Amino acid sequence: MQQLSILDLLQSDPSPNEVIINGWVRAFRSNRFIALNDGSTINNIQCVIDFENFDEEILKKITVGAALNIAGILVESKGQGQSVEIQVSKVTILGEADPEEVKLTILSPKRHSLEKLREQAHLRIRTNTFSAIMRTRSKLSFAVHEYFQKNGFNYLHSPIITGSDAEGAGEMFRVTTLDPKNPPLDEEGNVDYKKDFFEKETNLTVSGQLEGETYAMGLGKIYTFGPTFRAENSNTSRHLAEFWMIEPEMAFCDLDGNMDLAEDFIKYVVDYALKNCKDDLAFLENRLLQEEKGKPQIERSEMALQEKLQFITENNFKRVSYTEAIDILKNCKPNKKKKFKYIIEEWGADLQSEHERYLVEKHFKCPVILFDYPANIKAFYMRLNDDGKTVRAMDVLFPGIGEIAGGSQREERYDILRQKMAELNIDEEELDWYLDLRKYGTAVHSGFGLGFERMVQFVTGMGNIRDVIPYPRFPGSASF
């Protein structure tokens, strides 16, 4: 007999035919009512036992956390909260869970802090909060691929091990097979990487962008969606050392086309979640409302979670130049009264999250795309504007998050790219292939990167990015 998921059963009509279901016990009341969940939905199915006709030894083993196989008839529910329930005819214990040990874990019924749940990351997926987050994350992943595949993009698996630093920041994790206690040295006393596995210094990638550009210049439109790594010592609610990045690259596309794509893509993915994660988003919205009851009114969200997501899909993103944004920030009250941690004093300042959030949440009250940033605070590969001091860069700013995506029109001119690399002391030999691309049919091209976890964080309403990835990696933590 076909085993159905609880999601399927909850959407079915009562039937005289026997059904079989597997799942984990969330609750067992009055020796009669089992709340069973298999991860397919946030909702449990109620399984009703006639305990007087059941083996007492089996009943003793039906405890919170235990895995069961249940056979029975799907009938109309007499209780509230569900339309159907299972009248149980047979229970098989697949895996026991000691009640005393369960009390010491996050599987116990009492409410736990998110920090406590992180300490038991191997079990937190069994909780309502994390099952809702991870189902939503899965749906969002599908939406990413669906959007690009529908729009003629080819999926590129860019390398995870690389010899180049795409961002130029140097915050990379080194990959080596050399003995850390006794590495080979060259004549000058430096580590001799010629004796390493790749015969050169290599690292975990911070971005697939540079490789993505090369493929866009042959396939037209590509996107990468894979893990990236940053060795920056950032203990914040917005940073991870290992995270997933979405990076489309497009030939024959300027910055305006790039901004159009970013806005359309983000709206599509958010709309997909609204349509396909209704139960999970309803739960997460309610969770957020309960959490905010303990906060002062001024710190509470102006919109409920699903209302905020709907707002994103239904409103145009405001496009503002960096120069205009600096004028707004210089003259705003928080800056004049020195409420910002980083005071904006002059053009050329590198905007911080507090500035980005002010523009989005207080001034424009909608998503914002900033463009044409100062060249000296952006990466070498961004196209230099005719003014010689700004580049064709753009950042997408969201409420509660700040920057959710960043990109640019890439510098397609060989001589100017060489000049910019020289000014930043970037080794031409290391990126000779990237420069070489400009010799064979160079053309205007653009792309952006979007941190997937920040998207999941925004859609689920979670306050900390460590709670939207299965096993978070951050300074001092590589558990599980």
Q: Which of 138, 462, 110 has its CA nearest to residue 287?
A: 462
Range of the domain at 70: 6-103
> Are 298 and 400 members of one domain?
yes
User: Where a domain ends, among 103, 136, 156?
Assistant: 103
Tens-digit pLDDT string for the chain (480 aa): 678 899 999 999 999 999 999 999 999 999 999 999 999 999 999 999 998 888 899 999 999 999 999 999 999 998 777 899 999 999 999 999 999 999 999 998 888 889 898 999 999 999 999 999 999 999 999 999 999 999 999 999 999 999 877 665 568 999 999 999 999 999 999 999 999 999 999 999 999 999 999 999 999 999 999 999 999 887 777 789 999 999 999 999 999 999 999 999 999 999 999 999 999 999 999 999 998 888 887 777 878 999 999 999 999 999 999 999 999 999 999 999 999 999 999 999 999 989 999 999 999 999 999 999 999 999 999 999 999 999 999 999 998 888 999 999 999 999 999 999 999 888 888 889 999 999 999 999 999 999 999 999 999 999 999 999 999 998 888 888
Q: Where are the alpha helices (DSSP H) in 207-339?
A: 209-219, 255-276, 278-292, 305-314, 322-330, 333-336
Establish if 132 belongs to a structural domain.
Answer: yes
Q: Which of 161, 173, 164, 203 has its CA nearest to residue 428?
A: 164
> Are 306 and 444 members of one domain?
yes
CATH number for the domain harbouring residue 31: 2.40.50.140
> Are 244 and 392 members of one domain?
yes
Establish if 264 belongs to a structural domain.
Answer: yes
Domain count, the chain: 2
Q: Which of 37, 189, 46, 197 has its CA nearest to residue 107?
A: 37
By 3-state DSSP, what share of the chain in percent is helix, strand and coil, each rounded to 5? Answer: 35, 25, 40
Residue found by looking up tokens 């206690």 in the block: 181
Establish if 328 belongs to a structural domain.
Answer: no
CB count, 10 Å around CB of 231?
16
Give the span between the Cα atoms of 247 and 266, in whole angstroms.
13
> Are 257 and 399 members of one domain?
yes
CA-to-CA dists, residue 307 to 133, 273, 285, 459, angstroms: 18, 13, 10, 11
Give the span between the Cα atoms of 438 and 433, in whole angstroms.
9
Give the span between the Cα atoms of 122 and 471, in whole angstroms.
8
> Are 137 and 228 members of one domain?
yes
Q: What is the pLDDT of residue 33?
A: 95
CB count, 10 Å around CB of 432?
10
Q: What is the pLDDT of residue 383?
A: 97
Establish if 450 belongs to a structural domain.
Answer: yes
Kindly report whether the global pTM for this prediction surpasses the value 0.75: yes
Instruction: Give me 227's structure tokens.
Output: 């893990």
> Are 62 and 153 members of one domain?
no
> Are 159 and 301 members of one domain?
yes
Establish if 355 belongs to a structural domain.
Answer: no
> Are 257 and 377 members of one domain?
yes
> Are 93 and 138 members of one domain?
no
> Are 36 and 166 members of one domain?
no
With contact defined as beta carbons under 8 Å apart, do 425 and 442 qualify? no
With contact defined as beta carbons under 8 Å apart, do 180 and 246 qualify? no
Q: Which of 130, 23, 2, 64 has its CA nearest to residue 462?
A: 130
Number of residues assigned to the chain: 480
> Are 154 and 74 members of one domain?
no
Establish if 434 belongs to a structural domain.
Answer: yes
Q: What is the pLDDT of residue 3?
A: 81
Establish if 343 belongs to a structural domain.
Answer: no
> Are 65 and 141 members of one domain?
no
Q: What is the pLDDT of residue 179?
A: 94
Separation of first and last alpha carbons in the chain: 37
Establish if 437 belongs to a structural domain.
Answer: yes
